[in-house]
Chain A
Amino acid sequence: MSLVDLADVHKEYRLGATSVHAVRGVSLEIREGELVSIVGPSGCGKTTILNMIGCIDRPTRGTVRFNGQDVGHLSDSQAAQMRLRSIGFVFQSFNLVPVLSVRENIALPMVLAGASKKERRRTGDHLMDAVGLTEFAAHKPGELSGGQRQRVAIARALVNSPRLVIADEPTANLDSETGGEVLDVMRRLNRDEGVTFIFSTHDEKILRYAGRIVKLRDGVIEGVDGEQPECT
């Protein structure tokens, strides 16, 4: 069974009298353990698709299924619960909580999930080690470089052991070397821990990290490069 299944998904935004058709009939299937990249120029609908997969936005038409469940009709509270338990997010602007330390930022989703302090500590330490930030545990985000902040965001996205991590332009605010380091971390976690990643980018140079590349233009899938793994 696929982890994510988009069937003829449309998304239309109303901006006063005009409407913008951001996504036009996208159908896409993503299986567990994949590292998928959605690529395309700015405004092609990448973020909109990621938001709908991540239960942040709802399709105007069509269905978005996550793990077999139609997530287009979840209530706010159910969507929040789905994001907390099953989906991790990595944002272009990191979106860390500036007043909390690296350790606290990483553990925050576990606090929301009601994990014990001991469990938070153990998981937090493991993930800080995995993203190479152990020595920065007590630092605030403002004291870190862009790459380090994005690694904190990746660790935070993974802390509740989600089935899917969505990364929206994770390297857009980073130089190419640091962006490469961040994508290395994502690829390693995908390979070693089986985490499913979907990331969007408009940078052709980083596409080599993806197992499958979905090309998007004007809200329509233009093509897919790479083979979909066999269903396990």
Chain B
Amino acid sequence: MYLKLALLNLWKYRRRVAVIFAGVVLSVAAMELIGGMLNGMRLTFFSEILGGSGHVQLHARGYEDQLDRYSAANLIEAPDVVVDALREAPHGERVEHAEQLLSFASVLGARGRTAPVVAHGVDPRTRYFPEATENIVAGSFALKERGITISRDDAELLRLEIGDEATILARMPTGVPLVRRLTVGGVFESDHAELGAGVAFMRLSDAQSLLNAADRVSELRVTLRDPYEADDFAASIEPLLDEHGLIARAWREIHGTVIVFVEIADLTAAIINAFVLIVAASVITNAILMTAFDRIATFGALRAIGLKRRQLVGMVVCEGAFVGVAGSLIGLAVAVPVVLYFQTHGLDIGDMGEFFGTSRTYYFSFEAAATARTFIYGVLVASLSALYAGWATARLDLIHSLQEA
């Protein structure tokens, strides 16, 4: 009968209950949307930024002191030996993928025009640079021998099409300039801030040949099975690094600015969520208090016939919990489809993506566990608000309650 009494009371005071209900619905919907957005941000960070950069980057010692990060003057010797060591025990279990890269600054020229580009010599099946490999708009990324894949912006600037020849000018590690003719094999288009223009890809072997740097690379890029082990992994391979004159940079160091942003965003979201919860709790508590104080006489009668204080509190909490459950379900029913929509279609964040080093389209992410947490928060806020209201009502003097009749 408690439940029935609670439901009937909710119906009797339906206008005030509507306020409580709206408070729960809005706060739960807001928390779900903010959660979906931030979860998407985190996933974007891991998939787009870490997916492209890897979790640990190895460079020749002295790399950090170079004025030009793309100078070919400081390269890793015998990278195959290092990669083999990384793939073997005890590191092999933690390493998911390791790849060699030779990146260098160059100038691309064609039809009397030139464009500065950072050229990356990579494995044709590279798993990094997904913004380029997955967004080919002409030709393919297959990277044939003496082939080059360039951005659409550069192709338009240099008036290049698939099959056209371009001239690339670079400097050997010794500083001697070299020129080579390459055939355009693919054009990609990306709204990624770092891959939109001024980037080109060629085979690692072509890059090594061009720079006369056989069996040398500028970077070893490593992806771990667990990205959160990156710092620990970097520390664990120190003997190997010392042996080969290398340094390791984990993703927290590589993307320091972005991580600070993600952490600030997390903190902001926590503050927003706390604010939403406090506002909702205030609205809900006041509405429940008003509803409860309207029934002081009834509560007095119930206590007079034997209802204990804790039973009275339980009855009011039961009402709050019911509104919390129903309101949270409705709130999620409103917000989850929105999160799912933006998870599929994305949200255009314009130039903000450039600032963060991600694409312009920002995808939300639905996470069942986070949604369950939001549901629990909604029910808890309503129940705790009702607990306060119930406690405030139950502590009233019984005679005073009966006099309200």
Q: Out of B8, B308, B399, which one reaches A57, CB within 8 Å?
A: B399
A91-B306 in contact given A57-B399, A97-B5 (Cβ < 8 Å): no
Query: Among A29-37, A74-82, A128-136, which stretch is in contact with chain B?
Result: A74-82
Indicate if the CB atoms of A80 and B301 lie closer than 8 Å: no
A interface footprint on B390-405 (CB within 8 Å = 1, 0 otherwise): 0000000011001001
Indicate if the CB atoms of B298 and A112 lie closer than 8 Å: no
B interface footprint on A23-54 (CB within 8 Å = 1, 0 otherwise): 00000000000000000000000000001001
Report how far A156 CA is from B11 CA in the complex, Å: 24
Within residues 84 to 99 of chain A, which ones have a CB less than 8 A from any CB in chain B? 84-85, 88-89, 91-93, 95-99
A5 interface contact, C-beta 8 A: no
B81 interface contact, C-beta 8 A: no
A83 interface contact, C-beta 8 A: yes
How distant is B389 from chain A, measured CB to nearest CB, in Å?
Answer: 18
The total of Cβ contacts below 8 Å across the A-B interface reads 76
Q: Out of A80, A92, A157, which one reaches B303, CB within 8 Å?
A: A80
Number of interface residues of A (CB under 8 A): 32
Interfacial chain A residues near B309, Cβ < 8 Å: 76-77, 80
A89-B305 in contact given A100-B8, A111-B1 (Cβ < 8 Å): yes
Interfacial chain A residues near B405, Cβ < 8 Å: 91-93, 95
**Of all chain B residues, which has the CB nearest A13?**
B399
Output the residue of A88, A92, A111 with the most chain B CB within 10 A. A111
A interface footprint on B303-346 (CB within 8 Å = 1, 0 otherwise): 11111110100000000000000000000000000000000000
Interfacial chain B residues near A76, Cβ < 8 Å: 308-309
A164 interface contact, C-beta 8 A: no
Interfacial chain B residues near A77, Cβ < 8 Å: 308-309
**Of all chain B residues, which has the CB nearest A54?**
B304
Indicate if the CB atoms of A91 and B301 lie closer than 8 Å: yes
How distant is A98 from chain B, measured CB to nearest CB, in Å?
Answer: 7
Q: Out of B8, B297, B300, which one reaches A99, CB within 8 Å?
A: B8
Report how far A159 CA is from B309 CA in the complex, Å: 21
Report how far A93 CA is from B2 CA in the complex, Å: 23
Indicate if the CB atoms of A80 and B12 lie closer than 8 Å: no
Report how far A76 CA is from B401 CA in the complex, Å: 15
B9 interface contact, C-beta 8 A: yes
Output the residue of A77, A80, A111, A113 with the most chain B CB within 10 A. A80
Indicate if the CB atoms of B5 and A95 lie closer than 8 Å: no
Interfacial chain A residues near B304, Cβ < 8 Å: 54, 56, 83, 89, 91, 95
Indicate if the CB atoms of B402 and A112 lie closer than 8 Å: no
A9 interface contact, C-beta 8 A: no
Number of interface residues of B (CB under 8 A): 25
A108-B1 in contact given A56-B398, A93-B405 (Cβ < 8 Å): yes
Indicate if the CB atoms of A108 and B398 lie closer than 8 Å: no
A80-B298 in contact given A99-B5, A99-B9, A104-B1 (Cβ < 8 Å): no
A109 interface contact, C-beta 8 A: yes
Indicate if the CB atoms of B302 and A97 lie closer than 8 Å: yes
Indicate if the CB atoms of A108 and B305 lie closer than 8 Å: yes
Q: Out of A81, A95, A96, A98, which one reaches B306, CB within 8 Å?
A: A81
Report how far A157 CA is from B305 CA in the complex, Å: 8
Report how far A51 CA is from B301 CA in the complex, Å: 13
Interfacial chain B residues near A109, Cβ < 8 Å: 305-306
Indicate if the CB atoms of B308 and A97 lie closer than 8 Å: no
**Of all chain A residues, which has the CB nearest B310?**
A77
Report how far A157 CA is from B301 CA in the complex, Å: 11
Report how far A163 CA is from B307 CA in the complex, Å: 18
**Of all chain A residues, which has the CB nearest B311?**
A112
Output the residue of B297, B305, B311 with the most chain A CB within 10 A. B305
Q: Out of B5, B297, B303, B398, which one reaches A100, CB within 8 Å?
A: B5
Indicate if the CB atoms of B402 and A91 lie closer than 8 Å: yes
How distant is B258 from chain A, measured CB to nearest CB, in Å?
Answer: 57
How distant is A227 from chain B, measured CB to nearest CB, in Å?
Answer: 31
Indicate if the CB atoms of A83 and B305 lie closer than 8 Å: yes
Report how far A91 CA is from B9 CA in the complex, Å: 22
Within residues 82 to 119 of chain B, which ones have a CB less than 8 A from any CB in chain A? none
Q: Chain A residues in contact with chain B, CB under 8 A?
A: 51, 54, 56-57, 76-77, 80-81, 83-85, 88-89, 91-93, 95-100, 104, 107-109, 111-113, 156-157, 160
Given A80-B307, A104-B1, A108-B302, output 14 extra A-B contacts at Cβ < 8 Å: A56-B304, A56-B399, A80-B306, A81-B308, A88-B305, A89-B301, A91-B405, A92-B405, A95-B298, A97-B301, A99-B11, A100-B1, A104-B4, A156-B305
A-B contact pairs, 8 of them (CB 8 A): A80-B303, A83-B306, A91-B402, A92-B405, A95-B300, A108-B305, A112-B307, A113-B306
